[in-house]
Structure 1
Amino acid sequence: MADSTQDKLKRVRPPRVHITYDVETGDAAEKKEIPFVVGVLSDLSGQPEQPLPPIKERKYVEVDRDNFDEILEGMKPRLAFQVENKLEEGSATNMGVELTFKSMDDFHPEKIAEQVEPIRKLVEARKKLYNLMAKLDGNDKLESLLQDVIASTDKLARISEAKADVKDDGDQK
């Protein structure tokens, strides 16, 4: 006879919850173990792009730590909402945010920031500044050159104009 899923799991990963009850058969008392099963019936998909099938057509899905990301991706959870725009000073507008989750890692702040365009751009700018700081570390010549450019508004204006010209040509960024 083939082993049941429960028997296989006992060998691979024993259950943490053991529910037993005593059964009296004749003069002997026997301990019987019953499985601990939890069924969750819930709409965990947020605001799906496509409507969910009727409840009658849905099937139970066995979820464990090994297949959680696969199940999550299949559910296609999505959030779409408006938040107050705090990125632009004095802006009274709202910013539309749409988040999708395909794995547990997508719930981490850095993954969420990647999905929101204005925040993603700020994170990229921050990384570029960190890279610049790393290049400046120990490079006195480059540091003095940048200090000179920052101090001189004329040079700063020329660099901005040159950058705008390059963007207009479409050759470089």
Structure 2
Amino acid sequence: MFHVEQYKGKKAEDYKLVTKQLKALLEDEQDQIANLANASALLNQFLDTINWVGFYVKKGNELILGPFQGLPACVRIPMGRGVCGTAAQNQKTERVADVHLFPGHIACDSASQSEIVVPIMKNGEVFGVLDIDSPIKERFDEVDQQCLEEFVKVLEKHI
């Protein structure tokens, strides 16, 4: 059985531990759904002050809801729309301190105040995005961004 270690260090050190745990969870497993599901559960257990964490997978010109932790969410997001669609289209992490100031923000959960979206790449193309929402403005900083990008790099090897 998988054992979850307790987080008690500095934020970057805790992220290294959660990324190490992700590697252990993904080892010898190539099923995309299973890996995305475990990754969202791991982040949900690790991150505080968030209200949604999960994945959207690109199909055609849309992002389709994938495994997640949180309240029911928007099922389809057009490429280029909202924080998720913008991150996917630009292939660049979007870190938004106040979602209400983001042009075209799609409000799936009215409690969300800030958001970070990290694109997931496969064979040079966008596979999907990791999306995390928080009910607190300015929840995500540079450390979160750098560490979540590293987390996604590990995940990319198993999708």
For normalisation by structure 1, the TM-score amounts to: 0.20
Query: Of the two structures, which has the highest relative contact order with CA contacts closer than 8 Å and spacing of 6 or more?
Result: 2
Say which structure is richer in helix: 1
Q: Which has the larger radius of gyration?
A: 1
